[in-house]
Amino acid sequence: AVAFVDRVLGRRRSLRHVIAWGGRQRMRHPTVRGLLESASPESLLSREDLAGLSMPVWLSWGRRDGVLPREHLDFFRENLPAHAVVHEPDNHGHSPYLEDARGVGRAIVDFLAEVDRARLTPGSR
């Protein structure tokens, strides 16, 4: 569990043992167990699903993600629509929103402000 926490967070943290203990407790919850057991390739987003997204899209992917392989990010980059924004914070792992909630929050607010500006600009989508 501690090694998994290190991969999720992209580096060792002082409270990693406490976080690992909490993670183990969470993974035992019946809802989480059911979700994991029901996951299948059919439940994943397809290339067509991603390409068809018309709403603003913001994907955050920590550069130190130790959980998902880099090829997964490549899949999203190749198949998300051209208007999608991929945010790759340095020094963050799998869950940037847990590691730097304020920084990620600011990035989301900036993204939403840009979406709003584009919506109000004549000739934009």
Q: How confident is the model at residue 56 (pLDDT cuts 50, 70, 90)?
A: very high
Does residue 124 surpass a pLDDT of 60?
A: no
pLDDT digits (tens, 9 = 90+) for 69-118: 999 999 999 999 999 999 998 888 888 888 888 999 999 999 999 999 88
DSSP-assigned beta bridge partners for residue 86: 59
Does residue 15 surpass a pLDDT of 90?
A: no
Q: Supply the pTM of this predicted model.
A: 0.74
Give the whole-angstrom CA distance, residue 21 versus residue 29: 13
Q: Which of 16, 15, 79 is nearest to 44 (CA)?
A: 79
